[in-house]
Amino acid sequence: MKFRLKTVSLHGLRVQVLLWTILPLTILLIVFSLTGISSHHNSMHALAVEEKTKLVVALARTIAVQLESHAFRSQTKPEQMPVSALELDQLLDIEHSGAPITIALLDQDGEVLYSQDPLPTGESIGIWPGVSEAQSGNSGALFASEFNDDIIAYAPVPGTNWVLIIRESWHSLTVPLLRFEQVLPFILSGAVIISFLTLFFGIHSVVRPLQSVGVQARRIGAGDFSAAAESVGGVQEIEDLRQILDQTAHQLRQHQAALRDYVHAMTQAQEEERSRLSRELHDETVQTLIALGHKAQRVQRSLERDPTQTAGHVDELRQMIAGAVEEVRRFSKALRPLYLEELGLIPALEMLARDSGASFQVNGTQQRLKAEQELVLYRIAQEALHNALRHAQATNTQVDFQFSQIEVKLRVCDDGVGFETPACFTRLTQTGHFGLMGMHERAQLVNGRLNVISSPGSGTTVVFTVAA
């Protein structure tokens, strides 16, 4: 089984959002850690002072006990006992994990009576912090800032004028966590710098490209359909958005061009229809009315000259009037389907199918629809039958109408020559199918769905569905 590793790019919006979320949280955690370490550092200082104070006091008392013990055994006064007799090397042997430490025993004048390790060159222990306090009888511990914050513990030796001093390096005793506080400001500074760099990268890769896309959208709204053709950079999601916007603008431009062609074709068809009606009215209706006028004059003269022939002239006059009425009804029917308003949709479709030589079938429980919906259904059926007779060269045409509780469906199917249907209705005008474009526009007026299924040599099926 093969696994494909998906590469992670910093130009991805999800990575950007992750960085903008993690970095502030990281900074907050570092700040909280710094605060916690500072509090821990203060606690460690207090603990070190307490422990070193206990240690120096205990050692001072041990020295006093050792001094009294040796004086008792040798029957000598304590102040006359030599320091060397106390075996302070063993008594003051402190395990300190390799940390540098200095232990010294001083007299009242600050002179060194004993030191465990060599004393720092050029330094006088007598001036160390804490010595004067111990000489005054006090004990304790402090951090000497002049000695790199070394901790100095001090205590007087009971029963003598001696003082015990312990100096130990504080930094050598601190745990790695406390040492980390020295480099923590640099880490925090680095995190802040990275955060600002990420913010800059986000502004450069997200905010500004989005602003550019907004400008492109406004230009497209103003009619500049090529405004989104150029890349705005930034993260991939914004580039995808820009490409979608460019495709939408391209489709909108095609739709507007198709709409202009459709309007032009409809205007031309309207003018042709008006010209045809004008010719028919002039050549047929007007001529019929003129003939009626002449016939009326003949009736009038026959009444004056030979009343016996008046009945025949009147009968001819009635026939001519009936023909004129029939012509006017034909014109009216072509302009507006009167049967649709008077009888309803199903009778009107049945008469339309009969006039076109198509078979007609109805399924479901019949019901009246909205007037706008019935007119659209009638016009779509009329156009589909007109195309089947005029363009498809069909020999058989079937009109099916189906009622249901939620929708009605009109289906017009013929066995004509068929055609190659375009992928988009906006391209219908490019191929000269203005009738289908008109059907599509009418379907949209009532929120219906129009589907045209056709291929060369396989006939054409028009299906229109609308909510009941």
Mean pLDDT of the 153-178 span: 74
pLDDT at 230: 80
Q: Give residues with Cβ within 8 angstroms of 239, minimum separation 6.
A: 209, 231, 232, 233
Q: Give residues with Cβ within 8 angstroms of 327, minimum separation 6.
A: 284, 285, 288
Contact 420, 353 (CB under 8 A): no
**Confidence band of 143 (pLDDT split at 50, 70, 90):** confident
pLDDT at 408: 94
Mean pLDDT of the 327-333 span: 69
Helices (H), 368-414: 371-390
pLDDT at 413: 93
Query: CA 444, 449, 450, 455: dihedral to nearest 10 degrees?
Result: 140
Q: Give residues with Cβ within 8 angstroms of 58, minimum separation 6.
A: none
pLDDT at 263: 66
pLDDT at 172: 57
Q: What is the DSSP letter of 170?
A: S
CA distance 273 to 462: 25
Q: Is the pLDDT of residue 2 over 70?
A: no
Mean pLDDT of the 135-163 span: 83
Residue 125: helix, strand or coil by DSSP? helix
Q: Is the pTM of this model over 0.85?
A: no
CA distances from 271 to 14, 70, 276 (A): 59, 138, 9
CA distances from 263 to 249, 276, 448 (A): 21, 19, 21
Contact 91, 63 (CB under 8 A): yes
291-306 b/e (C-beta count within 10 Å ≥ 16 → b): ebeebeeebeebeeee
Contact 346, 362 (CB under 8 A): yes
CA distance 154 to 126: 12
* Chain segment 365-399, per-residue pLDDT in tens: 888 888 888 988 998 998 899 888 888 788 899 99
* Chain segment 10-47, per-residue pLDDT in tens: 555 556 666 666 666 666 766 766 676 667 667 777 87
Domains of the chain: 13-174 (3.30.450.20), 342-468 (3.30.565.10)
**Taking all residues of the chain, what is their mean pLDDT, rounded to a whole number?**
76
Mean pLDDT of the 248-266 span: 73
Residues forming beta bridges with residue 454, ordered by sequence position: 460
Residue 92: helix, strand or coil by DSSP? coil
pLDDT at 4: 42
CA distance 243 to 247: 6
Number of helices (H) and strands (E), helices first, in the chain?
12, 10
CA distances from 132 to 105, 111, 152, 158 (A): 13, 13, 12, 16
* Chain segment 194-226, per-residue pLDDT in tens: 767 766 776 777 778 878 888 888 888 787 878
**Which is more confident, 3 or 251?**
251
pLDDT at 309: 65
Q: What's the length of the chain?
A: 468
Contact 327, 288 (CB under 8 A): yes
Among 5-19, 255-269, 326-340, the least confident range: 5-19
Q: What is the DSSP letter of 8?
A: P
Q: Where are the beta strands (DSSP E) in 317-381?
A: 359-363
Residues forming beta bridges with residue 154, ordered by sequence position: 140, 165
pLDDT at 162: 86
Q: Is the pLDDT of residue 240 over 80?
A: yes
Instruction: Tell me how far the alpha carbon of residue 124 is from its chain's centroid.
Output: 73
CA distances from 17 to 10, 30, 276 (A): 10, 20, 68
* Chain segment 392-444, per-residue pLDDT in tens: 788 899 999 999 989 999 999 999 888 887 766 555 555 556 677 788 888 88
**Confidence band of 465 (pLDDT split at 50, 70, 90):** very high
**Confidence band of 111 (pLDDT split at 50, 70, 90):** confident
Query: Which of 118-132, 147-161, 214-228, 370-384 is modeled with the greatest confidence?
Result: 370-384
Helices (H), 228-309: 236-280, 286-305
Please give the share of the chain, as a percent, with pLDDT higher than 70. Answer: 68
CA distance 90 to 92: 6
* Chain segment 287-323, per-residue pLDDT in tens: 777 777 777 777 777 766 766 666 676 777 777 777 7
- What the block records as the tokens of 434 is 């203005």
CA distances from 189 to 31, 205, 418 (A): 11, 24, 75
Q: Is the pLDDT of residue 340 over 70?
A: yes
